[in-house]
């Protein structure tokens, strides 16, 4: 019996214009968080140098916009970013749009129907019978269950699939407040679209990343530590400083269990693509798995140069690692992301 394996064979990203973190603080957020004296320290400690925004608060303050107005802006901005990211991923994989059998879209920052999935598939000229799936409101970890969904389709149908993660967090700037958790959120989050092409083997001379296994863990006791609520003035994030403490209890056991299923340990993993939810999150992962600082260098670089782009971020890290030749041929890679629930998701991949 021939066994099919799903492989990631193409990456594509698209971002709006970037803006320097210092310029954002000095030109807008210092005034916006005037009632939160510690907000300046929060922005400085975020380890973000620049971020991307379809709505730059230095130019356009949307903090008083209704949710309806923000969703109309999402419907205007998202399709072009999504189309660019998917087109780049298809080109990277050497695949034509009409060869795609399924498109999965993950986004927690905007909703409209006809949705982003329909707009992108139509704009790129994909087949009318392409299957579509929308993953909503999962937050920062959505890319990994998204990879699982497209991998299952690829294995079952032996047809190529695309995952698009697109987040426009800049649309959800909240009104001025003295709340420090809002300062934390607004110091980190950014806009981006990232796409991957997943194909059945054989994958040809290009090689790829075989999707070996996935794991998930949700700790309901931490359900109130991270939230994303729809309000009349956009979506409001809630972030507790206890998030890293919860992750520190679960990262090592979950990753150890995932690797043990394949007779591996952390020492067998050649590259780590870890969602940089913030500097402390990366410290917790590194400490829990006993990783050297260099193991998470790409995650830190992505945080500095792109900010936290929610579900798209871990794909930015994985793409950067692959461009650097890691994991090496035949070696394994670990992929991790975290979000509401409190939820941890991980994937084990192997470079072919």
Two tokens at 253?
Answer: 């056991």
Structure tokens at 22: 């210092």
Contact 63, 173 (CB under 8 A): yes
Strand partners, 334: 272, 348
| DSSP per-residue string spanning 247-260 | HHHHHHHHHHHHHH
What single DSSP character describes residue 308? B
Tokens of 341: 């629930």
Element (H, E) at 160: strand 160-168
Nearest to 42 by CA among 57, 28, 25, 18: 25
Q: How far is CA 159 from CA 78, 104, 130, 131, 153, in A?
A: 26, 14, 11, 11, 8
> Could you give the 3-state DSSP secondary structure of residue 12?
strand
Cα separation, 195 vs 64, whole angstroms: 32
Q: Hey, which residues are catalytic here? A: 140
Q: Tell me the two tokens of residue 140.
A: 């920062």
């Amino acid at each position: 019996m021939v066994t099919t394996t799903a492989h990631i064979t193409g990456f594509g990203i698209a971002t709006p214009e970037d803006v320097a973190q210092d310029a954002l603080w000095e030109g807008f957020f210092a005034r916006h968080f005037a009632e939160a004296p510690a907000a300046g320290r929060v922005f400085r400690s975020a380890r973000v140098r620049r971020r991307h925004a379809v709505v730059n608060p230095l130019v356009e303050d949307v903090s008083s916009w209704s949710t309806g107005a923000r969703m109309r802006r999402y419907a205007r901005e998202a399709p072009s970013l999504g189309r660019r990211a998917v087109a780049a991923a298809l080109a990277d994989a050497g695949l034509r749009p009409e060869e795609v059998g399924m498109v999965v879209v993950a986004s927690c920052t905007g909703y409209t129907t006809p949705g982003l999935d329909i707009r992108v598939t139509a704009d790129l000229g994909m087949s009318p019978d392409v299957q579509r799936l929308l993953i909503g409101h999962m937050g920062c970890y959505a890319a990994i269950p998204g990879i699982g969904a497209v991998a299952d389709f690829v294995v079952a149908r032996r047809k190529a699939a695309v995952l698009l993660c697109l987040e426009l967090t800049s649309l959800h700037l909240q009104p001025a407040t003295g709340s420090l958790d809002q300062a934390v959120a607004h110091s980190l989050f950014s806009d981006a679209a990232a796409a991957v092409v997943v194909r059945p083997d054989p994958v040809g001379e290009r090689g790829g990343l075989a999707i070996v296994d996935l794991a998930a863990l949700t700790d309901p006791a931490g359900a109130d530590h991270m939230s994303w609520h729809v309000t009349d003035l956009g979506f409001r994030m809630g972030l507790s400083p206890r998030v890293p403490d919860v992750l520190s209890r679960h990262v090592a056991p979950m990753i150890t269990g995932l690797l043990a299923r394949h007779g591996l340990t952390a020492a067998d993993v050649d590259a780590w693509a870890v969602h940089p939810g913030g500097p402390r999150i990366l410290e917790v992962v590194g400490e829990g798995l006993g990783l050297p600082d260099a193991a998470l260098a790409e995650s830190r670089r992505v945080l500095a140069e792109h900010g936290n782009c929610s579900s798209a971020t871990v794909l930015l890290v994985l793409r950067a690692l692959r461009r650097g030749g890691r994991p090496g041929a035949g070696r394994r890679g670990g992929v991790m992301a975290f979000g509401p629930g409190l939820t941890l998701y991980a994937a084990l991949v192997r470079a072919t």
